[in-house]
Amino acid sequence: MSQASHGVVPLNTATLGELDPRIVVPAYNRSELVAGIVHIGVGGFHRAHLATYADELAAAGHRDWAITGSGVMPTDAAMAKVLDAQDGLYTLVTRSNQETKLQVIGSIIEYIFAASDADPLVSRIADPATKIVSLTVTEGGYPVDEDSRSFDPTRAPAGPSSAFGTIVAGLGRRRDLGIGPLTVMSCDNVIENGAVTRAAVLGVAEVVDPSLARWIGETATFPNGMVDRITPGTTDADRMLLADEFGLSDGWPVITEPFRQWVIEDAFVAGRPPWEELDITVTGDVEPYELMKLRLLNAGHSSMAYLAALAGIEFVDEAMNEPVISRFLSRFLEQEAGPVLPNIPGIDVPAYQASLIKRFSNPAIGDQISRLCLDGSAKFPKFLLPTVRSQLRAGGPVTLSALALAGWCSYLVGIADDGSTIEHAADPDLATARRLAVESLSDPAHFMTYQRVFGDDLPADDRFRAEFVNALSRLRSTGVRATLGAVLNGF
């Protein structure tokens, strides 16, 4: 007896006509699509972002920009299994305060699991139809030194079966066959992601074949881009909701918010989709938009997350329901982060700041505070401390930034305000960060000797050091809510 006979329809090509009419399904003929994009690292964000844009282009009649999805990690086997069973289809669940929209996305027409055999993926990259190789491999997946932005093979896998090894092999095959270059496009939340991707690809190629590295450097393009859409991890509860309320069995739906943004540098050697037809900004300079997102959204997330964790709050929207946290975030964006941003063409910064408060407050997303607490030692130097340095140079306010960093230090000690133990999120330098946080219990300023984060200049700045010590002392003596209340009443 099939699942459908029990009222739950398994998602695949054959069952699209049986789905609940509230679920939007592809109206185009998927058999006519051609994969002009190969994407490495198919996860939730890719499927809420690039794959969704590709679906909209297909719906508008553009048939040459579908996606071959791929995974090069052993853990990608789970995604391969689901997408294979579902013919590449999945459900995009867009949640706002007012409604939930379901749409089946059909732009992924093939999935190649390359963890044990990279050759099929190399062949697809070398296919003349492929114009773009895109990737979401997380910030830690790039074999590039964070400071010098040069190739560092010790930082991530760079062998022949890795993401970058496979890209290099595919480009090498294109060169040998006379097919020509293509564009390698990062969709990761990495500063200057195009430049970082270029360094990674050329570094791997130099090890394999220096002449290939020269050819890639002279012919391929690596556009910078800024991507944004909050996409929490899929849970069993999400799968059950689809089954119970919509009669749909989807092994890996994607939950996301209505907001989305993509700003991409117009640097595509082999052509690109007509992204101007969608809500995508194609520009010659991505940097102002990137700085806006990093210093407002990303810094805002990190700045409130550790304080919320100390207060025992599990979800982002619950934190925003706390007036002192919501006010803290609003004032940080308006008074510290916003005023030192560069001019951003076409962007109303106050409106963008207001949109962040609305997005963070969306209870339908279920975004977890623990997710925002990942990689503090990597995030704060890039997201928050540029704002601190700019404000210090201008003689401006840094009180809320100092409080955010003090919250992180208290979080690292591992004891919440109610005395419970905090389970720390992953961090590339967690052992060092925790050690300095514990040592700061006797000397609050000691945490600022964390040179990887604070550098040499900030510990030497008397005003900022005093702000940090005062914030950390308050947190330890009165807790998050009382400290926020006292600090905010001083504004």
Shared domain for 274 and 300, answered yes or no, is: no
CATH of the domain at 225: 3.40.50.720
Shared domain for 369 and 454, answered yes or no, is: yes
pLDDT tens digits for range 107-152: 999 999 999 999 999 999 999 999 999 999 988 889 998 778 899 9
Q: Provide the domain limits for residue 450.
A: 287-489
Distance, in Å, from the CA atom of 278 to the CA atom of 269, rounded to the nearest integer, reads 21
The H-assigned helical ranges of 144-235 are 163-177, 193-208, 210-219
Mean pLDDT (whole number) for 300-315: 98
State the burial class of residue 358 (Cβ atoms within 10 Å of its Cβ: 0-12, 13-18, 19+). Answer: middle
Distance, in Å, from the CA atom of 25 to the CA atom of 47, rounded to the nearest integer, reads 15
pLDDT over 60 (residue 464): yes
Shared domain for 361 and 403, answered yes or no, is: yes
pLDDT tens digits for range 50-99: 999 999 999 999 999 999 999 999 999 999 999 999 999 999 999 998 89
Shared domain for 113 and 256, answered yes or no, is: yes
Shared domain for 260 and 331, answered yes or no, is: no
Q: Which two tokens stand for residue 82?
A: 């689901």
Shared domain for 233 and 291, answered yes or no, is: no
Shared domain for 193 and 255, answered yes or no, is: yes
pLDDT tens digits for range 201-245: 999 999 999 999 999 999 999 999 999 999 988 999 999 999 999
Strand-pairing partners, residue 37, are 67, 132
pLDDT over 70 (residue 6): no
pLDDT tens digits for range 446-458: 999 999 999 999 9
Please report the pLDDT score of residue 1 as a whole number: 30
pLDDT tens digits for range 16-51: 999 999 999 999 999 999 999 999 999 999 999 999
Which residues lie below 8 Å from residue 216, measured CB to CB, with a gap of 6+?
Answer: 168, 171, 181, 201, 202, 205
Shared domain for 352 and 369, answered yes or no, is: yes
Please report the pLDDT score of residue 3 as a whole number: 43
CATH of the domain at 430: 1.10.1040.10
Please report the pLDDT score of residue 2 as a whole number: 37
State the burial class of residue 81 (Cβ atoms within 10 Å of its Cβ: 0-12, 13-18, 19+). Answer: middle
Shared domain for 277 and 322, answered yes or no, is: no
Domains of the chain: total = 2
**Percent of the chain having pLDDT more than 70?**
99
State pTM to two decimals.
0.88
Instruction: Single out the residue in 283, 305, 329 at which a domain terminates.
Output: 283
